[in-house]
Amino acid sequence: MKSGHGEVVIAEGDVNAAEDEERLMEEFRRQIESGLWAAVPVQDAMNQRSARMVRSFEDVPRDAERVIFMPRAAGG
């Protein structure tokens, strides 16, 4: 998510394809190093929805459809 834009797709790919995974991993690292937070929307067996905050690419579930990056929160 980005001011003045809303959702912007940064990278897409299949984590099971080595080349894609490398690219996604690199992009993930770039976003985190630029100071963004990352979250993965999840749904449990009871259909309850929530998010999982992830700090490294390894934390992202392999079956995750997307990772959402957002600006880091600060006290307002």
Partner 1 sequence: MLLALGASLIVAVALLFDLVGPALVEAWKRMRARRRRLENFLMADPGRERRAEQRARELLRSCVNDEEWSMYRELGFIRVWSAREAHDSGGEVAYLIYPHRPLISFLVSTGTPLQEHCVVFPDDPGPGGSDRLPDSDDVLAKWMSLTGDELRFLATANEHAVGRQVKIDQVRSDIWRLSRWEGSRMRAAAHDEPDASAPVHTD
Binding stretches for partner 1 (CB under 8 A): 1-7, 37, 39, 41, 47-53, 68, 70-76
Which of residues 24 and 54 has its CB atom nearest to partner 1 in the complex?
A: 54
- State in angstroms the smallest separation of the CB of 12 from partner 1: 15
Amino acid sitting at position 32: I
Q: Which residue has the tokens 């259909």?
A: 47
Which of residues 19 and 76 has its CB atom nearest to partner 1 in the complex?
A: 76
Assess contact for 25 and 54: CB atoms under 8 A. Answer: no
- State in angstroms the smallest separation of the CB of 41 from partner 1: 4
**53-69 burial string, b = 16+ CB within 10 Å, else e?**
ebeebeebeeeeeebeb
Which of residues 17 and 34 has its CB atom nearest to partner 1 in the complex?
A: 34
